[in-house]
Amino acid sequence: MDEYRIALIPGDGVGVEVTDGAWLVLEAASEKFGFKLISERFDWSCEYYLKNGQMMPGNGIELLRGFDSILLGAVGWPAQVPDSVSLHGLLLPIRKAFDLYVNARPHKILKGTSGPLKAEKFDILCIRENTEGEYSGAGGRVHVGTRDEVAVETSIFTRRGVERILRYGFEQAQKRSGRLASVTKSNAQKHSMVFWDEVTDEVAGDYPDVDVKRYHIDAIAARFVMQPETLDVVVASNLFGDILTDLGAAIQGGLGFAASANVNPAGGVPSMFEPVHGSAPDIAGRGIANPLAAIWSGALMLDHLGEHVAAKAILLAIEAVTSSGALKGADQGGNSTTQEIAAGVKRELLR
């Protein structure tokens, strides 16, 4: 029997609730499909920060290194800890330490659900560069608190970083429809984004079977709304990918359905899986958060670990629940609780 060590970091707010819901389904999948999940829970969060002055202990990365994967709930509680502190103290260090340079986020309408658009037949895979670009953290402030204060935030784009995320996108396009959209703003950002376009053209020569289109970020944002069915694999920088995937979540019916994977394709380190939504302090503790994004993220984790049949079965179970209409969270106009929805997915999985 294959065994996988999973680090659970529920984090803040509803992250705790949806992680519990996802783990209920993942354990059922392991029992049904004959593998073992061994979990260890870490209470790293804003509450941990308030007690210890840091989002995770100094040896946190080394503690995680021995795991096969990480399942994260949500990070942040801005009323208590600034987002710039919580994000740079936990999520971003994990991504960078393990070089999880691929952030993959699927967007499609699940059976029985609806989004705000007329279009329903779209299936977009957003590939976001995850370790450099606009979120590199390079820069600083001088003359702080004076009328002459200056803040500088420098985007860092390396040839290695841009080329490898593009190659991953091209490889995903080859497995899907053979269509790839590369996103920049090269008409305005004449250095970094022109560089991205140039690398796109170079890499495209190695994938003649993939149809490549280049879009400016504003144009493709409009296309997400007006013609999402014309898009398949979308590759973007850290900032642009972050923005586009919230838009993708919106058109698929809300953040409660948006899953994500933070992956190092080379392996050898734990990749991290998390719902796109935040900690939602306004509904935390009420047990009404939609766990489907966290469950879907768990399925992505199993697929990454090589448990492809189990991962597919979870997705089918999710759609069995959404298509029946019997269980709906508050974000879909229903009153089903987090645990009721998770238990419903588990029942469908075990049928």
Name the catalytic one among 242, 303, 328, 331. Answer: 242
Tokens standing for 254? 């809300």
Name the catalytic one among 20, 99, 123, 246. Answer: 246
The DSSP code sequence of 84-114 is HHHIIIIIHHHHHHTT--EEEEEEEPPTT--
Tell me, yes or no, if 303 is annotated catalytic. Answer: no
Tell me, yes or no, if 2 is annotated catalytic. Answer: no
Nearest in space to 9 (alpha carbons), one of 288, 294, 254, 245: 294
Name the catalytic one among 51, 83, 218, 312. Answer: 218
User: What type of residue sits at position 124?
Assistant: I
Name the catalytic one among 4, 48, 49, 135. Answer: 135
Phi-psi region of 115 (alpha: psi -120 to 50; beta: other; left: phi over 0): beta
The DSSP code sequence of 262-327 is EE-TT-SS-EEEEESS---TTTTTSS----HHHHHHHHHHHHHHT-HHHHHHHHHHHHHHHHH-S-
The DSSP code sequence of 29-53 is HHHHHTEEEEEEE---SHHHHHHHS
Tell me, yes or no, if 168 is annotated catalytic. Answer: no
Tell me, yes or no, if 242 is annotated catalytic. Answer: yes
Instruction: Name residue 38's beta-bridge partners.
Output: 5
Q: How far apart are CA 271 and CA 310, in angstroms?
A: 18
Tell me, yes or no, if 32 is annotated catalytic. Answer: no
DSSP state of 80: T
Name the catalytic one among 185, 215, 303, 346. Answer: 185
DSSP state of 81: B
Cα angle vertex 91, ends 87, 94, to 5°?
A: 140
Find the length of the chain: 351
The DSSP code sequence of 145-207 is TSTT-EEEEEEE--HHHHHHHHHHHHHHHHHTTSEEEEEE-TTT-TTHHHHHHHHHHHHHTT-
Which positions are catalytic? 135, 185, 218, 242, 246
